[in-house]
Amino acid sequence: MTSTKPLITTIIPTYRRPQLLQRAIRSVLAQTYPHFQVCVYDNASGDETAAVVRTLAGADHRVKYYCHTENIGAFKNFVFALERLDTRFFSILSDDDILLPSMYKLALANLEEFPEAMISVAPTIGVDNGGRVCFVASSGRNAGLHTPPEGMLSMLEVGQAPIWTGMLFRREVLEKVGSLDAKVGNVFDLDFELRVAARFPTVTSLEPGAILLTHTASQSSAVKFEERSGDWLELIRKISSDEAIPLQARTQAAHMLNDQLRTLLSISARAFIVDGEWQRTEKTIDILRTHFHLSFQPFLLSTAARMCRSNPSLHMFLRGVRSLKRWVASILPDRKGKQLEKTYGGYARYLRLYSVAIEASEG
């Protein structure tokens, strides 16, 4: 661990977000563990992205830059980057997220203590544009070593799907479980994490390692959820039929994923009704009806949609109620929000100060 060679590769795929990308790169350069390289894979942005990265690379040789001649799509860009790994460890960072300063130091300490583990997992904190903590994605409630397939189940038991932003992987996982799978679409990251945790030990910590910024332009928000639900269904089918995972474990994992999907679909359907997005409403209700074999909930949602479509006054009232609830929540967070803010609010403040410091340095 004392080698001067870059033992960690930070993969940052990017497309037309140069200022956010700069913040992401600087968060890696601020790591207390110095032996890494930051490899940026530009999906033919055609803007100032190249200039931003080259300025940082000129000041720090650990920053590397590759630009595709044409946009090959997000998935192929990830696969392209993984095929070029040349270090013992790697992590994947979205261009709009940041690593916390001790992420790599703590993760390497975990992997050194537990050499059988293939992933070190730290919580990732989700922060919205208003600077509020909206979720914490972890890998279970307990720190320490998790043997397979319990590690996979631990990732799913907390109700919030794990996020690889806070994970450090050994490169061997790519040889042992394969690369990303295009068949699962936009949940290829979750599929990869679960495949690894189902087969190899993982080590987790309770100290956060990364911050994820939730906003309308993020990759997850850019894809309509009713379209992503098909990817979830393929992931559930894949896990259910994976004979490398014990039957009881894969059945339990599929059940957990189904519960999460059903909840997300229900929330989405209600939001679509209030927004007046009727085609998306019907498509979401149809998934609840056909995949989950539900009748009462789809009936209630369909009835609410018909009432709103035929009664504009009712629809406007519901939109007003939602706006009021959001306003109240912004000044009077609920119990869960208060607990998140109490426990993790300092990290949200760190993100604000960190962003201001970068803007000041640019000025």
pTM: 0.89
Q: Which pLDDT score is estimated for 224?
A: 66
Bigger pLDDT: 353 vs 57: 57
**Residue 153 belongs to domain with CATH number:** 3.90.550.10
Q: Are 348 and 127 in contact (CB under 8 A)?
A: yes
Q: End of a domain among 205, 222, 239?
A: 222
pLDDT at 363: 57
What percentage of the chain carries pLDDT values higher than 90?
73
Range 276-291 burial, b when 16+ CB lie within 10 A, else e: ebeebbbbbbebbbeb
Same-domain pairing of 172 and 279: no
Helix ranges (H only) for the chain are 18-29, 49-59, 74-82, 103-113, 150-157, 172-177, 188-199, 219-222, 225-240, 247-275, 278-290, 296-310, 312-331, 335-362
The residue to which tokens 């426990």 are assigned: 343
Residue 52 domain-assigned? Answer: yes
Listed range (54-58, 290-294, 297-301, 329-333) with the worst mean pLDDT: 329-333
Across 334-343, average pLDDT: 82
Q: Of 201, 222, 243, which marks where a domain is finished?
A: 222
Task: Evaluate if residue 161 carries a pLDDT over 80.
Answer: no
CA distance 3 to 5: 5
In-domain check, residue 1: no
- Of the three residues 222, 250, 280, the one that is the final residue of a domain is 222
Read off the pLDDT of each residue in 47-72 and give the average, rounded to a whole number: 96
Q: Compute the distance between CA of residue 283 and CA of residue 303 in angstroms, rounded to an integer.
A: 15
Do 45 and 124 fall within a single domain? yes
Q: Quickly state the pLDDT bin for 131 (edges 50, 70, 90).
A: confident
Q: Using alpha carbons, select from 249, 54, 92 the residue that is nearest to residue 173.
A: 92
Q: What is the pLDDT of residues 189-224, one digit of tens each?
A: 999 999 999 999 999 999 999 999 886 544 444 446
Q: Output 71 or 342, whichever has higher pLDDT.
A: 71
Q: What is the mean pLDDT of the chain?
A: 90
> Is the pLDDT at 57 greater than 90, yes or no?
yes
Q: Do 140 and 283 have their domain in common?
A: no
pLDDT of residue 281: 94
CA-CA distance, 212 to 259, in Å (whole number)? Answer: 24
Q: How many domains does the chain have?
A: 2
Q: How far apart are CA 53 and CA 56, in angstroms?
A: 5
Range of the domain at 114: 8-222
Q: Is residue 104 part of a domain?
A: yes
Judgement on whether residues 111 and 186 belong to the same structural domain of the protein? yes
Same domain, yes or no: 81 and 215:
yes
Same domain, 64 and 163: yes
pLDDT in tens, 255-299: 999 998 999 899 999 999 999 999 999 999 999 999 888 999 999
Model confidence at 99: pLDDT above 60: yes
Q: What percent of the chain has pLDDT above 70?
A: 93
Is pLDDT above 90 for 168? Answer: yes
Residue with tokens 């970068």: 358
In a domain, 342, yes or no: no
**Same domain as 111, residue 251:** no
In this prediction, residue 340 carries a pLDDT of 84
349, part of any domain:
no
Specify whether 137 is located in the same domain as 262.
no
- 277 and 153 together in one domain: no
| Whether residue 101 has a cis bond before it, omega within 30° of 0 | no
Same domain, 248 and 267: yes
In a shared domain, residues 324 and 300: yes
Whether 197 and 289 share a structural domain = no
Q: What is the pLDDT of residue 159?
A: 65
Question: What is the average pLDDT across 54-76?
Answer: 96
